[in-house]
Structure 1
């Protein structure tokens, strides 16, 4: 019996430790964001608070679930096979968190694509279906009530596997679309190219991670019938979504500083993608003026770059010495210093 209990709940206990650790990282990131970006839009800041609050509630549900299995029902294999109420609560909360985060990234694509319905309608529909199937999965945990029946029933098999497959598809579409528009934004500027490569690496890493976890959940659910390993992966995936969202906000300062090559003292607070794209113009050293429409505005002294579309425009006419305030200032200074 000890081996059976260990196989059933042992992996789940370890995964709960990992989920709590990730929650600590989420809290740290939320704290860093709140103090480092006070000028972001109210919508973005409220979204951060909402994500952190939902993660706190989700963690509480996770702790209740693992406490029930390893403390309250310790040694009682019949009770461990029962699905406690907090399992469905964690699934429902995780679905809401993932939906908010994926909606946030779909909104980025909406901005980057110049409000293209073609590029946003497919992930939006997939996300809607994924939320519906996730809610159905949570409901089935409450109505079926026991793990053996839940693992063998057609309903949970369909809702869970299809829902997670759609979640992985949404992650893939988001990553592919963002990389596509970033590649279109390539310029001859080394700083711009470096920043775009950094954002591409981030998008690929975070998107691949959540996709791999979705695949792992489906595989463990269908193959590991005597283990709750898949349940713990569901909880970990929720934390990964929250951390990817917060990391995308907090990474702006690092990306700006790495592009500038300066310290944080020269950092300019940036507007975020909850607003319409903001237009900036920069002068490349060996090229025409670049007009950059920004979804997430990352400002720097030499150029303003972000996940946006970049359009080449003819260079503006140079200011004459008479029109240049700096030149006029230097002329006045030389006159003042000339001998009488």
Structure 2
């Protein structure tokens, strides 16, 4: 069997597993954001629901870690050895069990939702019975694979029947749950336009989340039954992630459904912070929206070429030590996109420094550091594009460039954070609500600034070997997330500010306090003493 794999291309086999692992890591990141949003937004939820979220997220994260470790074992620890590719290692076996558990837990949650919406025990029982059948088939498949321990077990007739039946039952459960919930909601339509619009959007959301998991299950079944390779594993690997994200998105949407039926819109926190920005801030200036789009495109291209580089080294160059020592173009492009992404985000925050501090000196210093980092990055790209092997990373020139790059970049990040925090702290007043908001913005700024600096320091400490590539891969993502999180934080700050103006919050509500933050100019209506004030009609909060 090893000779068969050695004569075949690994793209449709092990390469498909690797692509599925990359997608799984991405979806786990989305689930992490959703979990954070859930615990921050719904502290009043019952302890049982909070525990359920924790269990689902823990199972999903563990599943991702096992899949990633299995991929690492096959591609790195067993590099060049085709024989181990035929064996199912323990992390792979355990991932099959966790996939079934995650799916069953989420199905059980949706079965209870069916009962609460339809008040039909028969429908709930039918859905849960089918979910239980899927779990039993998943356990049976996992036990068979563990006992035999070889991937060629997947091509036995009995195993093909089990997998096809499991996926068909799972797809049927998803469709049945979605149909039950949607039909019940449609029957609740009334003559009020606002409530009908709300119901229509909930129905669309339910159909979308339910049909997505069903479509993936069908795609996995078709590729498994019609192709004698492991392409179906790319769909299998992300199945549990889709269920986790669907579950968390259904919980996180509640706050946005409760706010205002007349002007309701979904926050889409469950998809990504970039989509959340475009959905929630359509009134932002075209230049700012274009900047976000540019950063998003650069970040996505960086991820694509980085995945391509990993695929080349671990799949296309599998067993070829000479080819694995070359410096491929995709890795060069990944390094170039990383530097461009960081430079764009740093220039945005340099402009933020001037808008908040109104200090030309601080703005010039931070901009100079950002430009200096970009110049060093260009010099480093010249070194990399002129090299042909990975040995370039061990040269003194490359190390000097990386050291200078990280030092100047970290200095720029710290100075930007310190400048913004200094300006914010000067805005503190005697009003509890505004002071609380200032403290929150200061903590957020320090956290985002230190995160990028810490990653840069860790990359510098690992420069003696290839371990620095780990931090090199995520540094651009940290900058992108920092930019998008700072923009998305504005509505949360506005809601906190509005809640602080209620009775019993800080000073007397009779004091008419307003905030004008469009030009980061602060004053008050009454005594002129506070530097920060809150305006009922102006919610253009600064994003830090």
What TM-score range do you get, normalising by the shorter chain? Answer: 0.7 to 0.9
Match of 2:144 in 1: 140
What do residues 154-213 of structure 1 show as CA deviations (whole Å, max 9, x unaligned)?
332122111111110100100000011001111111111011011101111111110011
Asked whether the equivalents of residues 256 and 265 of structure 2 are also in contact (C-alpha less than 8 Å), the reply is no
Unaligned runs of 5+ in 2: 1-5, 267-544
Which residue does 1:241 correspond to in 2? 243
Matched, 1:197 2:194: no
Change (3 A) 1:262 1:65: closer
1:74 partnered with 2:76: no
Deviation at 1:255, TM superposition (A): 2.6
Residue in structure 1 matching 2:184, options 159, 181, 184 = 181
**Greater percentage in helix:** 2
Partner of 1:120: 124
The 2-side partners of 1:54 and 1:74 are apart by: 29
**What's 1:221 paired with?**
224
More RCO (CA 8 Å, sep 6+): 1
Say if 1:171 and 1:210, in contact at 8 Å, map to a contact too: yes
Measure the CA separation in 1 of the matches of 2:265 and 2:32. 25
- 1:6-39, CA deviations, whole angstroms, 9 ceiling, x for partnerless residues? 3311121111111001000001100000010011
> How large is the RMSD of aligned CA atoms in angstroms?
1.8
Superposed CA deviations along residues 128-174 of structure 1, whole A, max 9, x for unmatched, are 111000001111111121122x1221332122111111110100100
Q: 1:184 to 1:87 in 2, by over 3 A?
A: same
Per-residue deviation at 1:260?
A: 4.2
1:231 Cα deviation from its structure 2 partner: 2.1
Q: Which residue of 2 aligns with 1:49?
A: 54
Structure 2 equivalent of residue 331 of structure 1: none
Aligned to 2:253, the other structure's residue is in SS state helix
Q: In the alignment, what sits opposite 1:306? A: none
Residue aligning to 1:330: none
Cα contact 2:100–2:138 (8 A) shared by 1: yes
Checking the alignment, whether the CA contact within 8 Å between 1:123 and 1:174 is kept in structure 2 is: yes
> Which range moves more in the overlay, 158-167 or 253-262?
253-262
Q: Decide whether aligned partners of structure 1 residues 129 and 262 sit closer, same or farther in structure 2, where only a CA change above 3 A counts.
A: closer
Question: SS in structure 2 opposite 1:4?
Answer: coil
Q: Secondary structure in 2 aligned to 1:244?
A: helix
What do residues 56-107 of structure 1 show as CA deviations (whole Å, max 9, x unaligned)?
A: 1111111111112211222222221111222221111011111111111110
CA contact (8 A) 2:34 2:245 kept: yes
Report the counterpart of residue 207 of structure 1 in structure 2: 210
SS in 2 for 1:259: coil
Map residues 14-93 of structure 1 onto 2, 5 A cutoff. 14-93=19-98
Matched with 2:459 is none
Match of 1:4 in 2: 9
Q: Deviations over 1:211-267 (max 9, x none)?
A: 0111111112122213x2222311201000000000001111223335243899xxx
Gaps of 5+ in 1: 265-340
TM-score (norm 2): 0.46
- Alignment length, in residue pairs? 261
Q: Are 2:178 and 2:210, in contact at CA under 8 Å, matched by a contact in 1? A: yes
Measure the CA separation in 1 of the matches of 2:242 and 2:264.
30
Are 1:155 and 2:177 an aligned pair?
A: no
| Secondary structure at the counterpart of residue 79 of structure 2 | coil
- Work out the CA distance in 1 between the residues paired with 2:255 and 2:163: 38
Query: Does the Cα contact within 8 Å between 1:151 and 1:225 map onto a contact in 2?
Result: no
Contact 1:5 1:77 in 2 (8 A): no
1:257–1:263: 8 Å Cα contact kept in structure 2?
Answer: no
Residues 285-311 of structure 1 deviation map (CA, whole Å, 9 limit, x = unaligned): xxxxxxxxxxxxxxxxxxxxxxxxxxx
Q: Normalising by the residue count of structure 1, what TM-score does the alignment of the two structures yield?
A: 0.73
Higher strand proportion = 1
